[in-house]
Structures are given as C-alpha cells and as structure tokens.
C-alpha cells in the first residue's frame, strides 16, 4: 500500500517539477521513489499481513505484492532505459507524470478488492497510455495509434462497466468477496444477466491483454507508439492486466467457471493461431513483437484455464509475467537502439552481429527466451504452462500451443538470422548509451539466471 | 563426479576459447560472413586450445572405463544434485555401460573433428571452436543424463551451437536450410517434452512426482496401452526427426551438405546418435505396450528409409550428398534393430552406432579433402586420383570398406548383429533390411570407383599430397576401423551389458 502511495506522490511531484524548476533532478528522484516503493513492498511481503484499506476497496495480499514487485522492478529498468526519450522531448514533466500515473493504475489492478477499484485502476492506467501512445506529436502513425487506442479502449471500458453493472444488479454488491459468496449461495439459480455480466467483463479484460479476437488495436498501437511506450505497454500493462484477470476469474468467478472456460478456450485457440501466423508474415520487428505479445497472452490465459483455485497457476503466471517482462525489456531496448533512424523492419537488424556484437548477443538471448528455448526464462515459463495444461481436458489446446510455438520459433529466428547472417548496408557501429546498455545486459543476464535457477523465483514467490 | 566433470570441463574450455582474441581480428573485414578465408601467418590460439581441451576430455573419459566395469555404483560415476526441488528436477548424471560407449564415441570424435579443421581457416575461429566445445558439453549431457528434464534441456542445448555453426560458417543458402533444420527438430522436441511431462505427471515416488529416469520408466509402464501408444508417438517423433527416419528426413540431406564439414561431422557422427540413444534409453523401457502396438509400424518406416535412401544415394553426383543419404540408410537399420527389442538388435545397434560414428566422420572428411584439393565434390568431374596419391587411396578404401561393413572392419559386427536381431523379429522385414548390404556396396564402391579409379579428368589439375594433420585424422580413423573390426570384444562387452540392462529394466 505504501508503494502505491509513493508512486502517486511521485506523479504529483513530477507535475510540480516544471513550476519549481527541478527538472534535472526528476529522473533520480523517480528512480529513488521506485526503489523505496519496492522496498516497502518487500517489507509488506515479509510481514505477511494483508490489511484491507478504505473499507476493503483495496488490499495488498501476497499475489498483489508479487505482481506489484514485478511491475515496480520493470518500471525501474524502463525509466533507466527511457532516460533519453525524456531528454529529447519538450514536455518532459508531463511524460514523467503520465507514466507514473499509468503505474499507479497498474498497481491498483494488482490489488483491487472491489469492482469500482478495478474500474478505476483500468482507467487510471489506460488514459495516460492513450496520451503517451500519441506522444510523438508530429508523427501521423503515433497520432493514429493514440486515437485508435482511445476509441477501442473506451469501448472496452464500456463493456467492463456494463459488466460490472449487471453483476451489481444481480448480487447487490461491488465487493469481490460478497460477489463470490453470492455465487456460491445461489449456484443453481443465478439470473441470466449475471452470466452476461461475467462474459462482458471477460471480453473487456481480453481486450486489455489483447487476446484474439479483441486484438485488432494491438499491432497498430504498438507500431505507432514510440518504441519505449510500446515496451511499457507490453510489460507493465500486460502484467497488471493479468494480475486483474487472475484475481477476477480464478478467485471470484471461479464458481461459474463452466461458463467462461469454453469462451476462454476459444479465445486462446484464436489468439494462438491468428497471432503466430500473422506474426510470421510481418516485415516489421515491432509489429512482430506486437503479435508475439498476443501469443504470449494466450499462453498466460492457458494457465488460467488450466487451474481454477490453485496456487500452481499463480506461480506459473507470476513466473511467466516475469520471464516475459524481462525478455521484452531486453528486446525492446535493442530494438529502440537499432531503429533510431526510423527503420523497424528485419533489415534494420541485418549484420547487427558486426555493428554491435553485444546488442546482437542480448537480442539473441531475448529471442531464444521468447521462443522458449532452454535454458532461458521463457523455456521454464512455457514448461509451467505445459505442465498445467496436461492434466486438463483441453489437450487439443496443448497440441495447438506446441504447433503454433514452432511457428513462433520461425519469426524469432528470423531476427537472429538477420543479425548474424544478413548483410548490412553500412558497417557503421551502433553506439549505445552506457545506462541503456546496462539495462539491456542486465535483463539479458536475468533472463538466463531465472532460466537456470527457476527455483529461486519459485521459492521467492511461495504462497 | 566424473560425469559432472565431463560436462563442466568442455563448458569451461568453451568459455575460455570464446574469449581468446585471435580470429576476432577478421571481425570487421568486409568479406562474406563466415566463408572460409584462407589466411596465413595467423596465430591459432583458439584452435589449439580447443584441440588440447578435447584431448584432455578424451583422457578423462577413458578414466571412466575401469569403474564402469568394476564399481558401477561408485560416487565417481554418479552425480545427483537438486536443481528445482519443488518440481522434482535433479541434476542427475551417471555413466553406465551405454553412456560410457556414447561418451567415448563423443570424446574420441571431437578431437578428430577439431583436428580436421586445421587446414581450413575459419573466420572468427574463437566462436567456431567455442561452439564445438559447447556442443560437446551438451552432447555428453544428453548421453549421461539420468533425469528426464535434464535430458530434455541438454537435448535442446545441443541444437543451439550446431544451429549457429551451420548458420555462420555454412555454404550456399544456409539461412533457409539451417532454419528448416532448426524448426523441424524443435517441432519434434516439443512433442517429446509433452510426452515427458505426461509421464512425469504419472510418476509417484513416495507420493512425490519425480523426473528420475526409473520413476519415468515405472510411470510409463503403469499406463494403459492406449496411453502408452500416445506417449510412444509423442516421444518417437522427436527421435525419428533427429536420426532421421523416413518420412521425417527431409531436412537432413540439405543440412548435411550445407553445413561446414565440422558441422556435418558433429551432426552425423554424434548428434544423430542422440536419436538412436534416445530410442534405447528413453523409449524402449518406457512404453513396452506402446512399442508392441506401434513398433511394427516404426520398424517398417525404418526399413522403407533404408531402401529409399540407398536408392537415392545411388543416383547422387555430389559425394557429400551421397554420404548424407547413406547415413539415412544406416540409421534406418539401427533404429529397426532397436525397435525389434531383442538382445541382438539392441546390442548390434549400439555397436553400429559406434562404427557409423567413426566411419561417417571419415567419409565426410574425405569429401572435405576432395573439395579442398580438387575444388569439386562432383563425382563426374573426379577420377584417377589413385594414381596421384596412393596413400590417400588406401585410407579412403579402408573407410569405404568399414562403411559397407566388410568382415574384419568395425562396421561388420554391428550390422551382423542388427540383421540377426531384425530377423528374429520378422524374417520378411530382415530380408528388406538386408538390402542395405547390397545397395550400400553398390553406391559406396561406385563412388570410390568414380573418384579414385579410371582416367584423370581435366576438371582439376593436380591432387597433391595430404597435409600432416589431415593424415593423422585419417590414420586414426582407419586404425579404429581395423582395430575394432579385428578385435571388437571390449566394445562388444559393454554393448552386451548395456543391452541386457536396458531390456531387463
């Protein structure tokens, strides 16, 4: 809870920076604040108490703290990576404040105990992102991205709100526990509109994690937004949205799982097929990563499908989020540096092994991790999903996942082939700022480390 | 201990080699990436270091022979540390008769493979040799792993270095071909992973799930026939692709031809054995009922592969491609022998794996020497080399004889046992499998005749003499062929024990 307060305070502080002229100090302050938030987060974890706040509107239990930890850590590295994104822009403070407020929304999504908090979290997280997506003001594509995201996002919010309203209508409460109790008390005669409400919420959340067929905004928004904002969307936002789904569907709507399981299975199957085959056809690496994020979303949804009411799925999703976030930060960090001249296609990666061997190696590890090759983090993430799925009746989905992840290897390897085999137009070296290189190398090493010693993470997040 | 050491040592050596400076000097040159560039007067620290390391590794492997025979349970051979406790994953490696033979094969071949590269100067030599050693680490891991999960991890790890070796130093069109190879094999592996997880979910050691090999065996046998059949196919596909068995072989000829010689040697000499080894250790004892149900189909596929690949081999003009197809034929027989599931079959398969590993490395090396000395591997353009270099002709001939399994060469023992084993399974199938002897002789001797005998062709000027390091490789291979042809008893002993242990498990 203290973490959430600190990040909110930082956001307000960032807005004041212009007035009181401490713009230069802002980045160190933000980093310091995030570290402090992380530290408080960690202390709360150790005390092991889950205190509800504001009349049980919000509460940081262990899963919430774990997800918050991942989000804060990712944000920390993101800010280091993004330091020159802030420098070259004129509206420095606004961007800081927006990102920080998005972060506040993300933290709320990990810890809501009440439907209204959920809605607030979604909106607080999304609205800054609409603006950030369009933050390259003179770029048509960036404007398009922001606009598209806003329209589609509002649509999804409407769905969410309508769903909440219907559920409230049936159960008479916004409180997650009361809704859960209501379901178990009236298991056999729930009104029709309650089911409709659950499905509408599912649709809204699938939109937020960009699962097919609600994914159409993703490639355009990811491509149009500045690369670093895309990195933020595919890591922090994804993690937060999954934390929310996990809480909603595994804990509170578990009683009606027969209803949403079939829908979820269809969503997963569609996401796997559409995302992987479309990704294979992309020429832009950024778009490819957008589609790949859809396919990873499908994998995480599979865990939710596989294990209702079990800690195993919690472990698996937390591990998956961590592995995916770490790998993505590395990949987007490299992409950001490679595509400085505006070329985001595979050909921009041609000959990277000669132009900057360190970046190429990091990108190779990140790609192997996203493709799920041992001994990277991505492999264990996939392994946990497979293990979770194998005991379920959805074996066809498992086979589909295997087949499509082979397709996945195709487009990840294309990057590696381009880097090591493609002929570059220039032999000019790519210079990388030290702080950025640190983030890229660190996340790469982390990818390997949590791949080699997965028990470290598993032990850390024991529930 | 020793098993762990055998894995760690090449890894450490690989890292050291990777960070040696020489070879990086060409890094900024604008010549095509990875094409072999002949340059003179360059220091070869990386190469020499890698060679020394591989020799040490071989000596280490030799140490294991005595304990395997006299003290199989000693701590020297077994290592078992916890890796991921909550999932029952252990870093468990051990050397028994079967893995001893495979480890010996690997550690024997890797120095030869490195030595064979002495006359080719690769760009970025440090990466090249580092990757070879890294690959050796993974291969030894595959052969010694006693934990299903660890086996899978090493199995995948072996793929990465060979992928880069083929991608960076391969020939024409390597991007596409290595890519097909990677995706094809990964496709199989993922199904194997599913199969293994399925078994793991059925394990029960004191109420806990376990990845230990024995637990997986027990779990496999507790399944119903239908379940076993499913697991059989899930796992079999991975091995079938790796070996490869018809109709999963389409990646193989292109990859073998495109890969740099050392890559081809690694692929055919050792990596192929991962598939056959997998059949013996990770399939045969796991799903006996599945094997009963589907073993026949798999054997028929293997035998089709023998005849099919042999026929295609006869029609080849490129010597390297011919060897690639001959390899499919040989491995078809090996797999048929294993799947027949009797003592002779399995024992013969193990013997033939060793013999084939040595012979095929020899043959690919011959192809490499031919290319270096004449500029072509096209058999129509070659001829009359015997009159130019008699020594080379003799060495080549002995390797060919080993490959067609003439008595008193190493190939004979294995092939004899294999056909015997398949015959016990079914005489009809053995009749077709036996065609490999005749067809093998046809394509190998024709190739020899075309290349070495007859009139000298105008397409090349002079063959010249063979470099010392090349000669050493050929002579060592020839000695191995003859020695283990005349006196196969030591290897045969271990192969027999290995086959017995597997079949009695």
Residues on chain A touching B156 (C-beta within 8 angstroms)? 373-374, 379
Closest residue to A455, CB basis, from B85, B187, B193: B85
H helices, E strands: number in chain B: 22, 2
Q: What is the DSSP letter of A428?
A: P
Task: Report pLDDT digits (tens) over B298-336.
Answer: 999 999 999 999 999 999 888 999 999 999 999 999 999
Strand positions, DSSP E, A3-127: 52-53, 58-59
Q: Per-residue pLDDT for B487 more than 70?
A: yes
What is the span of the domain harbouring residue B242?
Answer: 2-504
Please tell me the predicted confidence (pLDDT) of residue B29.
39
CA distance A387 to chain B (A): 6
Q: Which of B86, B168, B190 sits opposite A455 (nearest CB)?
A: B86
How far lies B89's CA from each of A121, A446, B46, B55, in Å? Answer: 39, 21, 35, 32
CB within 8 Å of chain B, chain A residues 426-445: 427
- pLDDT score recorded for residue A459: 66
**Phi, psi dihedral angles at B406 (to 5 degrees):** -70, 145
Is B183–A409 a contact, with Cβ atoms under 8 angstroms apart? yes
Q: What is the DSSP string of B83-127?
A: EEGGGTEEEEEE--HHHHHHHHHHHHHHHHHHHHTTTS--TTHHH
Cβ within 8 Å, pair B152-A391: no
Q: Which of residues 17-36 of B touch A (CB under 8 A)?
A: 27-28, 30, 33-34
CA angle B203, B205, B210 (to 5 degrees): 55
CA-nearest residue to B194 within chain A is A386
Domain total for chain B?
A: 1
Going by the DSSP 8-state scheme, the letter that residue B318 receives in this structure is B
Give which of A417, A427, A428 to mutate to test B binding, by max B Cβ within 10 Å: A417
Give, as one character, the DSSP assignment of residue A214.
Answer: S
Cα torsion B348, B351, B355, B360 to 10°: value is 70
Quick one: how far is CA A427 from the chain centroid?
35
Asked if the model's pLDDT at residue B35 lies above 60, the reply is no
Q: B193, B202, B235: best mutation site toward chain A, by most A Cβ within 10 Å?
A: B193
The pLDDT score that the predictor gives to residue A36 is: 93
Query: CB–CB of A421 and B175 under 8 A?
Result: yes
Q: Cα angle vertex A85, ends A426, A227, to 5°? A: 65
Residues from chain A that touch B86, judged by Cβ atoms under 8 A, are 455, 458-459
Size of interface A-B (CB pairs under 8 A): 76
- Distance separating alpha carbons of residues A26 and B129, to the nearest angstrom: 48
B190 — contact with chain A (CB < 8 Å)? yes
Radius of gyration of chain A (CA): 21
pLDDT tens digits, B408-440:
988 898 899 999 999 999 899 999 888 888 899
Buried (b) or exposed (e) across B84-102, using 16+ Cβ within 10 A?
A: beebbbbbbbbbbbbbbbb
Domain spans, chain A: 2-460
Kindly give the parts of chain A with pLDDT less than 70: 86-90, 308-312, 458-463
- Output the pLDDT for position A340: 81
Q: Given a cut of 70, is residue B489 above it in pLDDT?
A: yes
**DSSP letters of A254-309?**
GGGHHHHHHHHHHHHHHHHHHHHHHHHT-SBHHHHHHHHHHHHHHHHHHHHHH-TT
Q: How far is A420 from chain B (nearest CA, A)?
A: 7
- Chain B CB contacts of A373 under 8 Å are 156, 159-160, 186
C-alpha span between B122 and A451 (Å, rounded): 32
d(CA B442, CA B439): 5
Q: What is the mean pLDDT of residues B492-499?
A: 90
Q: Which residues of A touch B174 (CB under 8 A)?
A: 421
DSSP string, A184-203: HHTTT---HHHHHHHHHHHH
Whole-number pLDDT of residue A267: 93
Q: With contact defined as beta carbons under 8 Å apart, do A155 and A204 qualify?
A: no
CA distances B486 to A180, A278, A447, B392, Å, are: 78, 59, 52, 22
Contact call for residues A200 and A162 (beta carbons, < 8 A): yes
Cα of A341 vs its chain's centroid, Å: 27
Structure token digits, residue B5: 């050491």
Confidence of residue B39 (pLDDT cuts 50, 70, 90): very low
C-alpha triplet B34, B36, B38: angle, nearest 5°? 135
Cβ contact (<8 Å) for A374 and B85?
A: no
Q: Using CB atoms, pick whichever of A379, A390, A455 lies closest to residue B197.
A: A390
Runs of H (alpha helix) within A339-433:
352-355, 357-371, 377-390, 395-421
CA distance A347 to chain B (A): 14
Residue in the block written with tokens 């406790």: B85
Contacts of B11 in chain A (CB under 8 A): none
Q: Out of B33, B157, B190, name the one closest to residue A375 (CB).
A: B157
Distance from CA of B16 to the nearest CA of A (A): 17
Cβ atoms of A254 and A308 within 8 Å: the answer is yes
Q: What is the pLDDT of residue B267?
A: 92
**CA-closest candidate to residue A405, choices A371, A381, A445, A362:** A371
- Asked if B364 reaches chain A (Cβ–Cβ under 8 Å), the answer is no
Strand partners, B93: B79, B145
**To the nearest whole percent, how much of chain B has pLDDT over 70?**
95
When scoring A315, A350, A357, A373 by the number of chain B Cβ atoms within 10 A, the one with the most, hence best to mutate, is A373
Confidence label for B83 from pLDDT (cuts 50, 70 and 90): confident
Q: Determine whether the interchain pair A390/B160 forms a contact, defined as Cβ–Cβ distance below 8 Å.
A: no
A403 contact residues in B (CB cutoff 8 A): 187
User: A372: helix, coil or strand?
Assistant: coil
Residue A56, Cα to own-chain centre: how many angstroms? 26
Percent of chain B with pLDDT over 90: 42
Q: Cβ contacts (< 8 Å) between B153 and chain A: which residues?
A: 374-375, 379
The rounded distance, in Å, linking the Cα atoms of B275 and B296 is 18
ipTM above 0.85, yes or no: no
* Distance in Å, alpha carbon of B84 to nearest chain A alpha carbon: 5
Contact A371, B160 (CB under 8 A): no
Q: What is the pLDDT of residue B24?
A: 43
What is the rounded distance in angstroms from the CA atom of residue A5 to the CA atom of residue B54? 59
Is the Cβ pair A379, B174 closer than 8 Å? no
Give the mean pLDDT of B3-13.
90
Q: Please state the separation of Cα B196 from the chain's center in Å.
A: 23
SS3 content of chain B, % helix, strand, coil (to 5): 75, 5, 25
Contact B349, B284 (CB under 8 A): no
Which one of A351, A375, A387, A399 would you mutate to disrupt binding with B, by most B Cβ within 10 Å of its Cβ? A387
What's the alpha-carbon Rg for chain B, to the nearest Å? 22
Chain segment A386-411, per-residue pLDDT in tens: 888 887 888 888 889 988 888 888 88
Of residues B28, B84, B156, nearest to A454 (C-beta): B84
Token digits of residue A400: 């589909």
């Amino acid at each position: 809870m203290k973490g959430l307060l600190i990040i909110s305070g930082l956001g307000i502080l960032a807005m004041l920076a212009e007035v009181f002229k401490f713009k230069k100090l802002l980045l160190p302050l933000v980093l310091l604040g995030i570290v402090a938030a992380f530290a408080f987060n960690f202390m709360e974890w150790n005390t092991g108490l889950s205190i509800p706040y504001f009349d049980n509107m919000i509460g940081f239990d262990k899963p919430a703290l774990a997800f918050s930890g991942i989000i804060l850590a990712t944000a920390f590295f993101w800010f280091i990576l993004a330091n020159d994104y802030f420098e070259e822009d004129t509206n420095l403070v606004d961007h800081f404040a927006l990102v920080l407020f998005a972060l506040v929304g993300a933290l709320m999504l990990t810890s809501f105990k009440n439907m209204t908090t959920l809605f607030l979290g979604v909106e607080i997280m999304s609205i800054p992102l609409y603006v950030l997506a369009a933050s390259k003001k003179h770029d048509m594509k960036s404007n398009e991205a922001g606009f598209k995201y806003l329209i589609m996002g509002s649509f999804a919010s409407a769905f969410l709100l309508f769903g909440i309203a219907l559920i409230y209508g049936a159960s008479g409460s916004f409180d997650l526990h009361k809704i859960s109790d209501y379901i178990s008390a009236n298991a056999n005669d729930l009104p029709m509109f309650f089911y409709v409400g659950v499905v509408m919420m599912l649709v809204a959340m699938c939109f937020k994690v960009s699962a097919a067929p609600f994914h159409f905004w993703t490639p355009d928004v990811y491509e149009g937004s500045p690369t670093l904002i895309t990195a933020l969307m595919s890591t922090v936002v994804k993690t937060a949205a999954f934390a929310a789904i996990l809480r909603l569907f595994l804990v509170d709507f578990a009683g009606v799982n027969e209803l949403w399981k079939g829908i979820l299975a269809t969503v997963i199957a569609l996401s796997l097929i559409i995302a992987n085959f479309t990704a294979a056809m992309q020429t832009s690496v950024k778009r490819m990563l957008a589609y790949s994020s859809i396919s990873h979303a499908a994998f995480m949804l599979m865990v939710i499908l596989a294990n209702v009411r079990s800690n195993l799925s919690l472990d698996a999703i937390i591990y998956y989020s961590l592995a995916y976030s770490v790998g993505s930060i590395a990949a987007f960090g490299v992409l950001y540096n490679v595509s400085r001249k505006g070329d985001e296609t595979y050909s921009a990666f041609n000959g990277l092994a000669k132009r900057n061997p360190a970046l190429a190696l990091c990108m190779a590890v990140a790609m192997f991790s996203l493709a799920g090759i041992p001994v990277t983090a991505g492999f264990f993430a996939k392994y946990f999903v497979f293990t979770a799925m194998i005991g379920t009746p959805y074996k066809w989905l498992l086979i589909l996942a295997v087949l499509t992840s082979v397709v996945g290897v195709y487009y990840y390897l294309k990057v590696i082939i381009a880097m090591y085999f493609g002929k570059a137009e220039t032999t000019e070296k790519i210079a990388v700022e030290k702080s950025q290189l640190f983030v890229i190398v660190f996340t790469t090493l982390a990818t390997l480390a949590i791949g080699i010693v997965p028990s470290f993470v598993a032990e850390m997040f024991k529930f | 201990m020793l098993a762990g050491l055998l894995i760690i040592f090449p890894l450490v050596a690989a890292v050291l080699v990777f960070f040696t400076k020489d070879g990086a000097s060409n890094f900024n040159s604008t010549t095509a990436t990875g094409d072999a560039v002949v340059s003179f007067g360059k220091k070869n620290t990386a190469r020499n270091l890698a060679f020394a390391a591989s020799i040490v590794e071989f000596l280490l492997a030799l140490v294991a022979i005595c304990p395997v025979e006299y003290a199989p349970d000693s701590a020297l051979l077994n290592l078992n540390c916890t890796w991921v406790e909550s999932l029952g994953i252990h870093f468990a490696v051990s050397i028994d008769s079967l893995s001893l033979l495979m480890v010996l094969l690997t550690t024997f071949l890797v120095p030869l493979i490195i030595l064979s590269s002495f006359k080719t100067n690769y760009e970025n030599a440090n990466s090249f040799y580092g990757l070879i050693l890294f690959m050796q680490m993974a291969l030894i891991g595959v052969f010694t792993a006693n934990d299903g999960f660890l086996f899978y991890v090493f199995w995948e790890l072996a793929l990465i270095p060979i992928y880069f070796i083929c991608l960076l130093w391969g020939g024409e069109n390597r991007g596409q071909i290595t890519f097909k190879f990677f995706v094809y094999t990964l496709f199989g592996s993922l199904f194997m992973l599913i199969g293994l997880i399925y078994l793991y979910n059925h394990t029960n050691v004191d109420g806990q799930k376990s990845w230990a090999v024995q637990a997986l065996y027990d779990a496999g046998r507790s399944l119903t026939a239908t379940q076993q059949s499913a697991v059989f196919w899930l796992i079999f596909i991975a091995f079938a692709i790796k070996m490869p068995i018809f109709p999963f072989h389409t990646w193989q000829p292109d990859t073998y031809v495109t890969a740099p010689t050392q890559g081809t040697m690694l692929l055919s000499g050792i990596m192929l054995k991962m598939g056959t080894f997998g059949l013996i250790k990770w399939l045969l004892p796991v799903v006996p009922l599945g094997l009963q149900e589907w073993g026949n189909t798999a054997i028929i596929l293997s035998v089709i592969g023998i005849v099919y690949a042999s026929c295609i081999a006869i029609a080849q003009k490129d010597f390297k491609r011919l060897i690639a197809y001959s390899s499919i034929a040989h491995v078809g027989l090996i797999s048929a022998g294993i799947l027949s599931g009797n003592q002779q079959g399995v024992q013969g398969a193990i013997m033939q794996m060793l013999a084939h590993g040595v012979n095929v490395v020899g043959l690919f090396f011959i192809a490499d020497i031919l290319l270096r000395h004449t500029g072509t591997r096209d058999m129509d353009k070659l001829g009359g080399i015997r009159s130019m270099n008699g020594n080379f002709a003799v060495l080549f001939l002995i390797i060919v004889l080993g490959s067609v399994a003439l008595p008193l060469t190493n190939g004979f023992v294995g092939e004899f046992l294999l056909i015997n084993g398949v015959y016990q399974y079914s005489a009809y199938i053995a009749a077709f499998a036996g065609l490999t002897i005749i067809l093998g002789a046809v394509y190998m001797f024709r190739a020899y005749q075309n290349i070495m005998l007859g009139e000298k062709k105008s397409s090349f000027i002079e063959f010249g003499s063979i470099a010392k390091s090349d000669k050493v490789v050929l002579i060592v291979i020839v000695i191995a062929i003859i020695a283990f042809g005349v006196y196969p008893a030591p290897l045969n002993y271990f192969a027999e024990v290995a086959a017995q242990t597997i079949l009695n498990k």
